[in-house]
Structure 1
Amino acid sequence: MSDAPLSPEQVLEQLHWRYATKKFDPSKKISDANWKTLEQSLVLSPSSFGLQPWQFFVVRNPEIRQQLLEHSWGQTPVVNASHLVVFAIKKDLNNSDVDRYIARMAEVQQVPIENLAGFSKVVKGFLSNPDFDINHWAAKQVYIALGFFMTCAAMLEIDALPMEGFVPAKYDEVLGLAEKGYQSVVLCPAGYRADDDKYANSPKVRFPTEQIVQYLD
């Protein structure tokens, strides 16, 4: 018998339960305990080198969320979901960001910082490639965190909606991200589906497994 906390059947059941929720019930809020778990799913998300080139802005102020609605193609999940998470990159990552991460690594792993000099050099060399678009790379990292967040939400039966339908520059303006050195990339409202969301019971449209998964033996 497997010692896994969830059976394979349970995992699949939750993944089938999940869908891109189009209509949220504004009266239903994520509990503090569940939100702390979702918060930690963001903290624990993997990234290349472990560098974490991001920041996650949780917009709780309803007045600010109302301002953001007009920059979100009028999509009401921005205001009706329990929580609104703005996934943003740290713009123009540089050597000081690497130094900060190396210092944190030395602290957490309790190793002399000089022992990490070789790793630091590798990461800095990677970021200094003149043909490398650092912000594009960071944006791809953010989507890893988005996937982590959405999967964790599904395990908790919390609805989520990944959104690229917004105007990043306007979000950055309203939230004051540019002066903080960040740039919004993608959104994810999270909460609970409305009883009358017509998409809740629609069957998932996916190609058959054998058409999208190939085994190369």
Structure 2
Amino acid sequence: MSNTYEYIKNRRSAKRYQTDFELSEKQIEEILEGIRYSPSSFGMEPYRVYFIQNHEIREELWPEWWNQPAVKECSGLIIWTTFKEKYMKSTVIDKQITNITDPQSDKAEAYIKNGIESFLKSQNTDFDNWTARQVYISMGVTLIMAKEMGLDCCPAEGFKRKETDDILAKHGIINPEEEHTTLGMFIGKIDTTKQNHYSYTRYKRPKEEVYKIIK
């Protein structure tokens, strides 16, 4: 049995954290590098990532994140922002194409640009939804990395986007013309002495209900 399978099988989302636990600089860098090396559609990496340790900023964010204790308790609040469509099309796509393709190949540039547009149409989705999907890919990588490193974490979707953007922009963390908040994650060490350190009983549907092998 692979180690990765065991990490996935045994991990749980922690809701309460030890307030005196701190990640080392090496751990933080490893987590962020794992995100950076995560796969993304067409290699576009349409997001930025912020690891927020600053307690004053997290205190400001707390009421806009549904008063979740983990906002203030965790060792670090990871926030993913995704690029807005205008900025993505005017800046990011061309830059990424230059980095990942032969600069002499006009066909590669056209293939990627047309591919993105065709994908959005075929999936009946919009640009914001597509960029968010890329964030969730990297989030999945982060969940497994954290477990392997002996850390606890929990993805966080419960926040007010505009208010979060406003706070981050006020502190000069994000550029609201280019990006907006898409996903968060609490990371640190679980505090099992606190009530509701896990929200629910862990249950997974029987495999017969989840997947089929088609031969």
Give the TM-score taking structure 1 as reference length. 0.86
Q: 3-state SS of the aligned residue for 1:185?
A: strand
Corresponding residue for residue 89 of structure 2: 94
Conservation of the 8 A alpha-carbon contact between 2:50 and 2:78: yes
Q: Which amino acid aligns with 2:156?
A: M
State which drifts further: 10-19 or 196-205: 196-205
Supply the distance in 1 between the matched residues of 2:116 and 2:67 (Cα, whole angstroms): 37
Aligned pairs for 1:14-53 within 5 A? 14-53=7-46
**5+ residue gaps in structure 1?**
1-6, 107-111
When the two structures are aligned, how many residues end up with a matched partner? 204
Supply the distance in 1 between the matched residues of 2:9 and 2:133 (Cα, whole angstroms): 25
Corresponding residue for residue 123 of structure 1: 112
Q: Which amino acid aligns with 2:29?
A: K
| Residue 186 (structure 1) aligned to one of 173, 183, 187 | 183
Q: 3-state SS of the aligned residue for 1:36?
A: helix
State which drifts further: 150-159 or 119-128: 119-128
Conservation of the 8 A alpha-carbon contact between 1:127 and 1:134: no
Supply the distance in 1 between the matched residues of 2:133 and 2:156 (Cα, whole angstroms): 15
Supply the distance in 2 between the matched residues of 1:55 and 1:201 (Cα, whole angstroms): 29
Corresponding residue for residue 211 of structure 1: 209
Aligned: 1:157 with 2:150: yes
Q: Which amino acid aligns with 1:162?
A: P
Q: Which amino acid aligns with 2:113?
A: K
Conservation of the 8 A alpha-carbon contact between 1:98 and 1:120: no
C-alpha deviation, 1:188, in angstroms: 0.2
Share of identical aligned residues, percent?
22
**5+ residue gaps in structure 2?**
none
C-alpha deviation, 1:95, in angstroms: 4.8
Conservation of the 8 A alpha-carbon contact between 1:23 and 1:76: yes
Alpha-carbon spacing, 1:209–1:49, altered in 2? closer, same or farther (3 Å)? same
Conservation of the 8 A alpha-carbon contact between 1:14 and 1:157: no
Give the TM-score taking structure 2 as reference length. 0.86
| Residue 98 (structure 2) aligned to one of 99, 103, 110 | 103
C-alpha deviation, 1:114, in angstroms: 1.1
Q: Which amino acid aligns with 1:113?
A: P
C-alpha deviation, 1:196, in angstroms: 1.2
Supply the distance in 1 between the matched residues of 2:66 and 2:184 (Cα, whole angstroms): 13
C-alpha deviation, 1:99, in angstroms: 1.4
